[in-house]
Amino acid sequence: MSGHASTAGQGSRHDSPVASQAGTSHGGTADPSSHQGGKDNKPKYELTDAQLIGRRVDLPAEAFHKAGQEQTRFTARPGYNEKGKPIKVQLNLFPVSSWSDSEIYQYDINVSPNIHDSRGLVTKVWNTTTVLEALRAKGGKWLCDGHKLAWSSEKIDRNETRIVVDLDTLEEKEAQSPEVYKKVVDRNSVYYLTIRQTKTIRLSYLKAYLQGKIPWDAHVLECMNFFDHCMRQYPSQKLLCIKRNFYDRDRPKAKLGFDLVINQGIYSTVRLSEAINRGGTGLAINVDRCNTAFWPFDSLDQLALRMVNCHKYDWSHADINKLVTYLRPEERVHPKTGEQAWTMSEAFLCLRRMTKLKFVVNHRGKMGETKVYTLKRLIFEQKYGRDGAHSKAVTFEKKMPDGTTKTTTVHDHYLERWGFRLLYPYLPIIETTRGGLYPMELCNTLPDQRYLFKLNPEQTKDMIKKAVCKPPQRLKDIMEGVRELDWPKDPYLNAFGIKISPQMAVTQARLLQNPEVSFGNQKINPGTSGRWDLRGKTFLEPNAYELKSWSFICLGQACKQNELENFARQFSGAYRNHGAKITKAPYMRMMSYSEGNYSDLVKIAVQETTRYCKEYPQIIFFLLENKNILSYERIKKTMDCTFNIVSQCLQGGHASKCNAQYISNLAMKVNSKLGGVTCRVPVRENRAPAFWSRPTLIIGLDVSHGGAIGQNPSMAALTMSLDKDATRYAAACETNGYRVEVVRATTMHMMLPKLVRHWKSINGCAPRHVYFIRDGVSEGQFQDVLDIELGEIRRIFRENDCHPQFTVIIATKRHHVRFFPKSGDRTTADHNGNPLPGTLVERDVTHPQHFDFYLCSHVAIQGTARPVHYQVILDEAGIKPDDLQKMIYQQCYQYCRSTTPVSLHPAVYYSHLASNRARCHENIDPDHLILAYGKPGFPYGKMPEEIYPDHEEQSAIAPYLIPMAARGVSKDAIRFMNTTMWYV
């Protein structure tokens, strides 16, 4: 905490500056560019019980069945793998060994008056001495969800009781009669708690569901909800609970970048378990370590300074006075309309992440004030002009002792009322959610507030460095977490007869046989190491067309002329050695930024390459000075959408070093972009594909979103295998509204039809089987994947005279299941203690009846390997588990730009890459972007209504992407660009 913050603050709400309700103070209404935008009054989308409980518990897909929706019976498990080598591995699951069959009584609770439906008030009333003593007198053990529900092992008389609580005087008493209740409730700060029994929970329903005897219904959901609250009630009394995570408030926090801190916690949740099929209870507790970014405990002015310091390198040494300069509004003139306006500076936009921060205000006149405020916005309005809304400019109506009012500034208020001058009077003023006005230097953040925004690259790098740990350390942390949860001494678990084993589950797993990998001139067997190199190997298929029109362009001071020439020469030689067809040396050019912006530089590069090679370019390499995302995106956007030419960006430092391994890795990417194939799993006899005997294709689909607070539209990316071995994938991308996960019909029809027609034209037949592998959807959206996404895919195939069978698979990495092989066992673990590639788990952690499995297909470079959870929700072809698991695992060896198997099936992996690359194709007016943010490409504070004025809600139609089909480019060039792997 800064020194001046410790002697600063704010008094009671009666003598603090407050925004005028009549609009005569700082401006009355919020600026449209603020976070509020007039949308606070809209009714929020109400979640179902399953969606609410699913935030804390891993529920099966059928739990999210929507009213009026025809429920699908998801594919049942057809059997288990029988071909892999049997092995045993530990799972970070702790079985629930038993529970009592006694009835549990569920109660509705209501606190009145509670106008704002405050959870905090309910918790406060519930935990008062009077309430706890009254419940103790009624017998049994009670637990409460802190809002609407309570549970007890005992039934209360007459199924209802009322308890009156006086929070001010603590003269609380149970309301024995209406007369006593009326007498007490008329007093201020008096509340009454009504407890009414509504349901009886029988855990036998849950057991019957796990055994497959009954379908999922509301009774089973009630059982899971009770289990969840019972398990977390005791830990939440001593630890900070955020959804599924628990944090020790006193644990030392590490710094995350310059402006955040990181706290390591315990992840804990209830999971359904396949162990019910072998005599277990069918429930287990998944425990893992977790790391979360939090805001630091500091004054807001110092926090703001550090946020700006770490935002960009040029600001890293700025002091508080320089911060004032950076936060001042900037004047912009619209190039088309000539409209002049003051806009938020880049630094000001950066600070909008502080919205919703909770803080206290202390100064020498009111030390120790505990009232908590919520930051609504940093005030920004046009009328304050160049200097912005600082303490000497923002005014409010102040009530005087004689009952009159006068207009005064925030600065003068503190001088007159408390007798001190603000140290930094020209910093922006804070407005709270209740209209209070406060200087930043007087506000101190509350501790343990989670940071909700996407981390920037430096913070992400720092987070990975601090969070990553090898399996032995992770195992140690998990067991430490189990001891901290302290299940044997948990009074709530003991009261309801729930016993949890403190020992990890040991499961019967399988180690799948790794495949051979075939290159153009040889086959290799990576064995269990999961690694190979490219020395002496030629690509399975070289570039589709002879490379004769290409160039290397060095921008700015990325490297020297001789380094550029040497790198181009070394790359050409290495690419030829890997089998490339190159008939002409590349054009090389050093290009200065003084020649124009990035679009101009790309245009010059295309023109000069065409002139030198006497043919339209096939690929252009751009050497850049650093990893500036803006320059990368501008180059890609112009190359992809204006000229329809594949490109390769690289840092000049790599050209200077000219490392042979780097060049070979680069050659893999370039070869794929030019229509080649790196490698494949060998074909069967008679050149039949390794995985299937009839025409088959694979579709991968992913939808990525902007940050948690609005920002960019959702991006759908679809990839489709083109050849019989599924080594080459074309990709199509399109916007999909705002934070909309399920792909809309219009979006699907813009991506898929052309690819289906292209597949038929190059394969000479229609596909008979389609694997649809979907990434990123939760169990609550499985039904939508089948009803909406698969429904449109079927329609598109029918319209193109194709009638294939479908196998739909959901691939998920967002889970906390980890494998821990026996320490030192080299037959099941690598030198770091991670499972070997091909480790398959189908028991104990999987659903009792559904067709799902966990597969670790890769070698973890650092930390603990995370397996992928594959869930087959539809299988019209009746694929055997052995064949499906073999296909998924072995195709991970065919990823085009890696010399190791990847963790996720390539179809989905490629869709990730395409989704990220397609961000470059967003159709945003750069002039509008500058007016909205102050700087183009600004990563924070992007509100959809600022970029896209027609955007009114999250589901709005986002502007379509710019197509990769420019005028003046030949149809063959456009077709090649859209069907090659341009995104890798």
Give the pLDDT confidence of 547-586 residue by residue, as tens digits: 999 999 999 999 999 999 999 999 999 999 999 999 999 9
User: What local confidence, expressed as pLDDT, does residue 925 receive?
Assistant: 54
pLDDT digits (tens, 9 = 90+) for 489-530: 999 999 999 999 999 999 999 999 999 999 999 999 999 899
Could you give the CA distance from residue 231 to residue 102 in angstroms, rounded to a whole number?
Answer: 17
Q: What is the mean pLDDT of residues 697-713?
A: 80
pLDDT of residue 175: 42
Note the pLDDT of residue 14. 39
Whole-number percent of the chain with pLDDT over 90: 73
Question: Is residue 21 predicted with pLDDT exceeding 70?
Answer: no
What Rg value do the Cα atoms of the chain yield, rounded?
A: 31
pLDDT band of 223, cuts 50, 70, 90: very high
- Between the alpha carbon of residue 858 and those of residues 149, 510, 837, the distances in Å are 45, 15, 5
What integer pLDDT is reported at residue 572 of this predicted model?
A: 97
- Whether residue 27 is predicted with pLDDT greater than 60 in this model: the reply is no
Most confident of 29-43, 250-264, 514-528: 514-528
* Residue 662 reports pLDDT greater than 50: yes
Q: Which of 712, 715, 713 is nearest to 704 (CA)?
A: 715
**Residue 218 reports pLDDT greater than 70:** yes
More confident residue, 27 or 749: 749
Chain centre to alpha carbon of residue 293: 13
Identify the H or E element spanning 136: helix 129-138
Contacts of 189 (CB under 8 A, 6+ apart): 166, 167, 168
pLDDT of residue 179: 47
Instruction: Name the residue type at position 936.
Output: P
Long-range contacts: 140-149, Cβ < 8 Å, 24+? 140/495, 141/491, 141/492, 141/495, 141/496, 143/229, 143/230, 143/233, 143/492, 144/109, 145/229, 146/119, 146/122, 147/119, 147/122, 148/108, 148/109, 148/110, 149/106, 149/107, 149/108, 149/109, 149/225, 149/229
* Domain-wise residue ranges, the chain: 5-40+298-445, 102-201, 542-673, 687-922+954-979
- Residue 349: the pLDDT is 92
Residue partners of 3: CB distance under 8 A and separation at least 6: none
| Tokens standing for residue 524 | 């290799």
* Residues in CB range of 115: below 8 A, 6 or more apart: none
Instruction: Please state the CATH superfamily assignment of the domain spanning residues 542-673 in this structure.
Output: Response regulator (3.40.50.2300)
Contacts of 820 (CB under 8 A, 6+ apart): 89, 90, 91, 92, 471, 475, 504, 833
5-40+298-445 fold? paz domain (2.170.260)
Q: What is the pLDDT of residue 169?
A: 58
Q: What distance in Å separates the CA atoms of residue 9 and residue 111, rounded to the nearest whole number?
A: 33
Going by the DSSP 8-state scheme, the letter that residue 639 receives in this structure is I
To the nearest 10°, report the CA torsion of 492, 494, 495, 496.
Answer: 90
User: Residue 556, by phi and psi: left (phi above 0), alpha (psi -120 to 50) or beta?
Assistant: left
Contact of 675 with 690, CB cutoff 8 Å:
no
Whether 189 shows a pLDDT value over 80: the answer reads no
- Identify the three-state secondary structure at position 51: helix
Determine contact, residues 730/755, Cβ cutoff 8 Å: yes
3 state SS of 779: helix
**Exposure of 304 by Cβ count < 10 A (0-12 exposed, 13-18 middle, 19+ buried)?**
buried
pLDDT at position 20, please? 46
Mean pLDDT of 944-962: 58
pLDDT category, 837, cuts 50, 70, 90? very high
As a whole number, the mean pLDDT across the chain is 88
Is 543's pLDDT higher than 90?
yes
- pLDDT bucket at 923, cuts 50 / 70 / 90: confident
| Tens of pLDDT, residues 78-91 | 999 999 999 999 99
Q: With 50 as the cut, is the pLDDT of residue 246 above it?
A: yes
Question: Average pLDDT for residues 935-950, to the nearest whole number?
Answer: 39
According to the model, what pLDDT value does residue 288 have?
97
Split at pLDDT 50, 70, 90, the class of 371 is confident
Residue 521: which of 605, 444, 579 has the closest Cα? 579
* Identity at 745, one-letter amino acid code: A
pLDDT for 936 equals 35
Inform me whether the pLDDT recorded for 8 exceeds 70: no
pLDDT number for residue 940: 39
More confident residue, 141 or 942: 141
Q: Is the pLDDT of residue 771 over 60?
A: yes
Torsion of CA 47, 48, 54, 59, to 10 degrees: -150
Could you tell me where the beta strands, DSSP code E, fall in 501-645? 505-511, 517-518, 523-524, 550-555, 587-591, 619-624
How high is the pLDDT of residue 699?
98
Burial 551-580 (b: 16+ CB within 10 A, else e): bbbbbbebbeeebbbebbeebbebbeebbb
- The pLDDT value recorded for residue 637 is 95
Of 834, 171, 92, 138, whose CA–CA distance to 479 is shortest? 92
Lowest mean pLDDT among 54-63, 174-183, 457-466, 879-888: 174-183
What span, in angstroms and rounded, lies between the C-alpha atoms of 858 and 11?
Answer: 59
Query: For the CA atoms of 951, 952, 953, 954, what is the dihedral angle to 10 degrees?
Result: 10
For 464-467, the CB contacts below 8 A with 24+ separation are 466/254, 466/256, 466/262, 466/291, 467/262, 467/264, 467/291, 467/863
DSSP at 765: S
pLDDT given at position 313: 80
Q: How confident is the model at residue 380 (pLDDT cuts 50, 70, 90)?
A: very high
Of the candidates 958, 949, 947, the one whose C-alpha atom is nearest the C-alpha of residue 705 is: 958
pLDDT reading at 472 higher than 70: yes
pLDDT confidence of residue 872: 98
d(CA 689, CA 681): 9
CA gap 96, 606 in Å, rounded: 65
Looking at residue 16, its pLDDT comes to 60
- Long-range contacts made by residues 317-322, C-beta under 8 angstroms, separation at least 24? 320/424, 320/427
d(CA 676, CA 687): 19
Q: CA triplet 470, 472, 476: central angle to 5 degrees?
A: 115
Identify the CATH homologous superfamily for domain 687-922+954-979: Ribonuclease H-like superfamily/Ribonuclease H (3.30.420.10)
Share in percent of the chain as helix, strand, coil (round to 5): 35, 25, 45
For the residues 247-256, what does the mean pLDDT come to?
A: 92
